Amino acid sequence: MLTYLTILLSLIIFFTVFFRRLNILKKGGEEKKAPPVQEDFEEVIQEKKVSKKDQQMINSLCEKAEQKLKVGNEDEALKLLIQALALDELNKEAQHKLAMLYMQKQMYSSAAALFRRLAEITDEAVHYSHLGLAYFHQQDLENAREAYQKAVDLDPSRPQRFVSLAQVYRALSQLEEADMVMRRAIKIDEENVDFLILLADIQKDMGNKKETIEILEKVLLIEKGNLDALSLLKEARKMEDVDNQV
């Protein structure tokens, strides 16, 4: 009887351990079959090692593409850069050159896709700025605004980026924001005639005739005889005369 109970107990323990191990193996198998999350997948791509031979080939293809561009052969340059990216889709130099080439060829959607990826990889203001321009050419003004805003947040030292952002705000009919951003550009480059004329034009759109005239008179002190300033000043003074007659 004791022997029988011992055997029975041993069998119970054996099957308990067996099923526990089977369950663990089953779960382990399920975990192995589970697809990686997107973030892990992106990390794998970013950490992908490029062989020395492939890197040399990429550099050579980029140099050949640059030579083709110098002689105006854009189509051949395009093919060479695409070959370079086939070897390493995240190569920053090849992506940048190809994106700039797409801009030249007015292929703005393709340019935006590359600049967007470059911006995500590098988080550099220059790539967000180019992305904003690509969006602007597509009349995607909201995304252009966001891209230029990111560019000036990352690097507020370049006044031209504020000007570009102001032009987007103006296109969106957000004139107060355009005015505010233009003043930031002028604060960096106070005597830039082109910047001042654009600010005067924005003021005119806002109906601020006095401010428009004051800005244009400042322009003419810096650059006497500036035709754009004289033409805009003539318009502003006519508008002021109309107001005085009312």
**pLDDT digits 0-9 by tens, 131-162:** 999 999 999 999 999 999 999 999 999 999 99
Mean pLDDT of 24-44: 37
**Whether the Cβ atoms of residue 163 and residue 185 lie closer than 8 Å to each other:** yes
Q: What is the DSSP string of 149-187?
A: HHHHHH-TT-HHHHHHHHHHHHHTT-HHHHHHHHHHHHH
Whole-number Å distance between alpha carbons of 146 and 141? 9
Residue 22, pLDDT score: 43
Crossing angle between the packed helical segments 209-222 and 193-205, to the nearest 10 degrees: 170
Whether pLDDT at 34 is above 50:
no
Residue 52, pLDDT score: 87
Structure tokens at 129: 């700025």
CA atoms within 13 A on the CB side of 194: 5
**Whether the Cβ atoms of residue 175 and residue 206 lie closer than 8 Å to each other:** yes
Residue 24, pLDDT score: 40
Whole-number Å distance between alpha carbons of 116 and 195? 28
Residue 48, pLDDT score: 62
Residue 117, pLDDT score: 95
pLDDT top residue among 112 and 26: 112
**What value does the mean pLDDT of the chain take?**
83
Res. 244 pLDDT band, cuts 50 70 90: very low
**Sequence-distant (≥ 6) Cβ neighbours of residue 147 within 8 angstroms:** 119, 128, 129, 131, 132, 135
Res. 50 pLDDT band, cuts 50 70 90: confident
Report the phi/psi class of residue 36: left, alpha or beta, with left for phi > 0 and alpha for psi in -120 to 50: beta
Range with lowest mean pLDDT among 8-22, 149-163, 210-224: 8-22
pLDDT tens digits for range 93-132: 999 999 999 999 999 999 999 999 999 999 999 999 999 9
**Whether the Cβ atoms of residue 97 and residue 62 lie closer than 8 Å to each other:** yes
Residue 69: helix, strand or coil by DSSP? helix
Give the distance, in angstroms, between the CA of residue 4 and the centroid of all CA atoms in the same chain: 77
Q: Is the pTM of this model over 0.85?
A: no
